[in-house]
Structure 1
Amino acid sequence: METVANTHDLAKALANSDIVFDRATLEQAIRRMAVAMRADYRNDDVPVYLTIMHGGLPFAAQLAMEVGALGLDLEFDYLHATRYRGETSGGELVWKHRPATPLRNRRVLLADDILDEGHTLAAIRDWCLEQGAREVRIAALAVKKHDRCVQGVCADYVGVEVPDRYVFGYGMDYHEQGRNLPAIYALKD
């Protein structure tokens, strides 16, 4: 299999970006989200915790540890559905992996890096409901500030609000790079 070189220079992007939220601020926001989640779930009602790959992975792992420290158990699974496939604008939803855990009559908690316009999260939420989930909640590390969100889609647990700019880091990518950066950056105009 041939590897294609990425023509987008991450170092240049970082030099042309502002740090919107540093690691300490994001970790504090995730702890705050965990407290709110713990208040919403009882010990006898373990939610199915679905990490949305790839972007949701760093955030979802940290959030899971924080709610675990508060005594809330989670049943882990993941899904991979994307509209971007390395691009900066979304197209048709492509499912790369669906969860193996049955969702019928279960409470589902989706964990994702960002809620931008919400098309992907809306489709995932609707699919979970079609599978018989009795409730679907959304935890998003970042929510983009604008008025273009799909009607009826909002995060139940929000870490931070980011500007309506190209953001990356902490799970969000810059042309499939920089997901593991420990801060959120926004490209300058």
Structure 2
Amino acid sequence: MRIEIDEKVFDVMLEYEQIKKRIRLIGIQLNVDFENRIPVFVGVLNGSFIFLADLIKEIDISSEVTFVKVSSYDGEKSTGKIKKEIGLQMSLKDRDVVIVEDIVDSGETLRYILDMIRAEEPASINVCTLLLKPKSLKTNFEEICYVGFEIPNEFVVGYGLDYNGLGRNLKDIYRAVPKSEL
């Protein structure tokens, strides 16, 4: 199915049912890995809010949730400059931290967030991302332990991800259709 957002055309890449099944499996793994611990899930706004909301419903162990907000995108492209808009709202010292990202692309934003959290001296840091673009990564991160889907280096929207502020509300994830395919 094709949709149009702000004069850009998108095709379905991942349907909501696929996403839900994968999140259920990630939740099971997190429950096992953090059994007898109380992790803090740090959602990276704005993109992760839907993923984190669905993920936390699969978590049976005691846990806490907080958010940070950073920005680096302008439309489809990263500006390369990361701006902290909302910082940490709680101490993470000696805590088990799970950073929840919607997408890890180049890794620049993740590096920034990891540095912010490392400064808090947590007991452990793990990253859980719904989408990972391995071919776009500029750095390998040993902290990335939970990945929903590896995707090609394409621009995507939906399920929390946006294009010019639009499309976050879409249940499925869509990929931008290159002009050559229109």
Q: TM-score, normalised by structure 1?
A: 0.86
Q: What is the identity percentage for the equivalent residue pairs of Structure 1 and Structure 2?
A: 27
State the Cα distance separating 1:87 from its structure 2 match.
5.6
Change (3 A) 1:165 1:86: closer
For 1:152 and 1:51, how far apart are their aligned partners in 2?
A: 18
SS of aligned partner of 1:139: strand
2:78 counterpart residue number: 89
Residues 107 and 134 in structure 1, CA contact (< 8 A), matched pair in contact too: yes
- Asked if 1:28 corresponds to 2:21, the answer is yes
SS of aligned partner of 1:91: strand
For 1:32 and 1:139, how far apart are their aligned partners in 2?
A: 12
The one-letter code sitting in structure 1 at the alignment partner of 2:43 is T
For 1:111 and 1:57, how far apart are their aligned partners in 2?
A: 9
Change (3 A) 1:110 1:74: same
2:11 counterpart residue number: 18
Q: Number of paired residues?
A: 175
For 2:108 and 2:88, how far apart are their aligned partners in 1?
A: 19
Residues 115 and 155 in structure 1, CA contact (< 8 A), matched pair in contact too: no
1:73 counterpart residue number: 62
State the Cα distance separating 1:154 from its structure 2 match.
5.6
Larger % of strand: which? 2
Q: What's the C-alpha RMSD, in Å, of the aligned pairs?
A: 1.7
1:182 counterpart residue number: 171
For 2:128 and 2:70, how far apart are their aligned partners in 1?
A: 16
The one-letter code sitting in structure 1 at the alignment partner of 2:117 is C
SS of aligned partner of 2:115: helix
Unpaired runs of 5+ residues, structure 1, are 1-8
For 2:173 and 2:127, how far apart are their aligned partners in 1?
A: 20
Q: How does 1:47-62 map to 2 (within 5 A)?
A: 47-62=39-54
The one-letter code sitting in structure 1 at the alignment partner of 2:57 is M
Q: How does 1:41-52 map to 2 (within 5 A)?
A: 41-43=34-36, 45-52=37-44
